Amino acid sequence: MKHALLLAGCVCAALAPAVLSAQTTAPAPRDALNTKCKGRLRQGCRPATQVTQAWQLPAFEPEPEPQPDETLARALQSAYETAPTLQAARYQLRASDEDYAQALSELRPTTAMQISGGYSKTVPGQTTRLSRLFSGTYTSPLITSNAMAAQVTLNQPVYTGGKAAADRDAAIAEIRAGREQLRGSEGDLLLQVITSYADVRRDAEALRLYGANLRQLEKTLDEVKARREAGELTRTDIAQAETQLELAQTEANTAREQLEQDRATYAAFVGHDPGNLAPPPDLPDLPASIADAFGIAEQLSPDLAQAFDTERQSRAKIAAAKAQGKATLSLSGTATLTGQAAPFYLHNEDQEFAGQAVLTIPLTNGGRVGSLVAQAEDHNAADRIGIEAARRQMVDAIVNAWNGIATAQRNIAIGSNEVASARVYDEGTFEEYRAGLRSTFDVLYAHATLLNAREALVAARHDLYVAQATLLRRIGRLELRSIMTGTGLYDVDSDLRHAERRGAVPWDATVRALDRVDRARPSQPGLRQPPPGADAPALAPAGNAPVDADFATHSPATPVPGTTGIPAPDRSLSRP
């Protein structure tokens, strides 16, 4: 025991200086790449390369974005001014304005003039000549005469049973529905322009990413070939790198095709080819919550407002149909001038003036008025149901757009981290590849991972902007007057004012007030639905479903008799 203690003490005394020396000297850093494979071959280890010590890592470096020469505001303004679809919608609205002018004309006076003239020439017979001779009227062997008549008629409707008033209400509702439809068409166009603008920018950025990937793969292939010549790699490594390079070139070609397609779509909406598009600005007036989006849409959605105005139009047509069974009153007057046409002397002409009031009271109509009322009520019922259909579609579109925003925001946050990690992964994999810890496949996979991460981030930013624009369209805020300043706007009131003034008379307001006396009121019967079933709903029993069905390879081609023609004979050679 004492000898063991003495031996231990001697050993400790001998080791003490070494321990103190180790504590005072900092340990050398360990190189993980060299430590793993130093001095022996392990699975996954290759000799470190000796031919690329002075080479830089093949970095993924996209070209910078070119200097922009076109903005989203300019594109929106150009589309607003020149898009054929929007211009056609404006003229459709102008046509609806004329329906109001036609409704106004029902209570305005109408005038007409009718002028007739005649000339006759008679060659008298022997008896007529003798009678004229004896009566002392014989002056010429021929008998001639001429006459003329002119009549001016004026008709002023006074009371139409309220039909004219109902037609005016229907026309106003039609115009309002047309204006909401125009707002919707404008929002659809602006959304298409914004989407196309974002598509072109996304495709251009993707093409720059593919170009960076191609340059990175070309440098990687050069290094693989150099190491193959040094005997460090095999032809399989070269084939892997060449295959990936060719695949990347194919993807770049596809990206270029997609870019050109979206550029053509952009030109169709905007009216000219896109230049270098500037980054789009943040969209204004986005709602802060989904509840705010629903509240705004109930007030501003053009689709929902159009459904309400369409229902008002069909409701007014019910009153117009009922008015056809009510009494009408009109005033008319005529002025007639008759006499000799040549020579014409006004004091020799007969002048007649007449006026009358006409009261028309329908007694029977064979059920036509009742049928018109029932038909109008059914149309109105369909339009009332259409309001709920429009509301459901609006809610569905808002929810989808909102979820698109939420998804894109999350994908952008994830994608940013993914790109940072993929860059480290790509650079680290190549360093380990040079140290013999990674294969050529690992390097190519890391390159592809970085490309995919960058491309996914670009797509997520694109999707976010498009989803925000879609949300603005669905809630009714995607129109030029809301999202832009300093632009000219189409005046929807000017054409209506012009149509209203056409043919106006000073007593228009008085006659309109009379026509609203005891006017017909629209009726709206309750909406009917199918009755509920007696039992719980269930599917009918299944029939004999085909088991192990084979592919159908033949389609019946025999036409229904009488629905096709017979080839005509060729008569080209027999024609003269």
> How far is it, in rounded angstroms, from Cα 140 to Cα 124?
10
**pLDDT tens by residue, 396-449:** 999 999 999 999 999 999 999 999 999 999 999 999 988 888 999 999 999 999
Which stretch of DSSP H or E encloses residue 1?
A: none
- Type of residue numbered 390: A
Helical H segments across 363-484, by residue range = 368-434, 440-475, 480-483
DSSP-derived pairing of the beta strands 350-360 and 143-159: unpaired
Which of 163-172, 360-369, 547-556, 567-576 is least confident?
A: 567-576
The pLDDT mean for the chain works out to: 87
Q: How confident is the model at residue 576 (pLDDT cuts 50, 70, 90)?
A: low
Residue 252, strand partner residues: none
| Pair of tokens at residue 121 | 């020439």
**pLDDT tens by residue, 65-94:** 999 999 999 999 999 999 999 999 999 999
> How far is it, in rounded angstroms, from Cα 321 to Cα 54?
92
Are 482 and 84 spatial neighbours (Cβ–Cβ below 8 Å)? no
| Pair of tokens at residue 522 | 């629209």
Secondary structure class of 113 (helix, strand, coil): strand
For residues 53-68, give the mean pLDDT.
82
Domain 72-113+161-327+364-485+494-515 has CATH 1.20.1600.10: yes
Q: Which residues contact 405 (CB under 8 A, 6 or more apart)?
A: 464, 467, 468, 471
Which of 287-291, 330-334, 471-475, 484-488 is least confident?
A: 484-488
> How far is it, in rounded angstroms, from Cα 30 to Cα 33?
9
Look at residue 350 in the predicted model and tell me its pLDDT. 85
Residue 277, strand partner residues: 70
Q: What is the pTM of this model?
A: 0.83
Domain range annotation of the chain:
72-113+161-327+364-485+494-515
Look at residue 30 in the predicted model and tell me its pLDDT. 44
Our measurement of the distance from residue 497's CA atom to the centroid of its chain's CA atoms, rounded to an integer in Å, reads 29
| Pair of tokens at residue 456 | 């996914």
> How far is it, in rounded angstroms, from Cα 369 to Cα 362?
10
Q: Exposed, middle or buried by CB within 10 Å (0-12, 13-18, 19+), for 289?
A: exposed
> Which of 248, 266, 268 has its CA nearest to residue 206?
248
